[in-house]
Amino acid sequence: MNFRHSLLLPLIFVSGSIFSGLQAQQDNLRSALANLTEDVRLLAQRVGVLQIEVEELRRENAQLRRQVTAAQSNDQSQQTRADILRTLESRMETLRREFRQADEAQKKEIIAEVTRQVDSLGRETQRAIQGMADAINQTPNISTPHRFSDDYPSTGVEYTVRRGDSLSKIAREHGATVRDIQNANRIADPRALQAGQVIIIPIRE
């Protein structure tokens, strides 16, 4: 398998899992919005019921007015007519208050539920993005293995590495090349030299 492709497979798997999670969150939000739509429909039904009650109250109002007219024709007292009107106004005010309270409560419930779902989706999206960033940052940094060659002089000298030495310094002092020293001693990482280490320095004649 191509080396680059082997590195991309974990990222593709992580990305697929994250976007699947985001899709699930979006499905949950759509379901919640469908429920809210049903709540709005129920609210509309309640409004319809209240409208029916208003119509009934109007009919009662008309009846009371007829009673007031009848009372006036029958020389009933002014106090009786005032009581009837106060009763009518009180019932009208009670109905208006109940209607406003029901409407406001339903609106608050809908807004609160939508806000909660949006916040939840935002948190899940943020966690998914952070998870993807963490996965990318944690991908191992695998370097290409050093390929050694046997194309170096067969003659040379032994050298004991001293503190502060580097391959380039050793090669320069002995008229050799860094590549020949690496190949002769199978040194993949020049930074791995240690004081006291004995190496072979191939020298070209």
In CATH terms, the superfamily for domain 156-202 is: LysM domain (3.10.350.10)
pLDDT reported for residue 137: 53
Interval 85-89 mean pLDDT = 81
| Cα–Cα dist 202/155, whole Å | 6
**CA-CA-CA-CA dihedral for 10, 16, 18, 20, to nearest 10:** -150
Least confident of 103-112, 169-178, 190-199: 103-112
Query: What residue spans define the domains of the chain?
Result: 3-137, 156-202
Model confidence at 142, in pLDDT bands (50, 70, 90)? very low
Q: Does pLDDT of 138 surpass 70?
A: no
String of b and e for 89-106 (b: at least 16 CB within 10 Å)?
Answer: eeeeeeeeeebeeeeeeb
Model confidence at 2, in pLDDT bands (50, 70, 90)? very low
Going from the C-alpha of 11 to that of each of 3, 14, 118, 163, the distances in angstroms are 14, 5, 28, 42
pLDDT reported for residue 185: 94
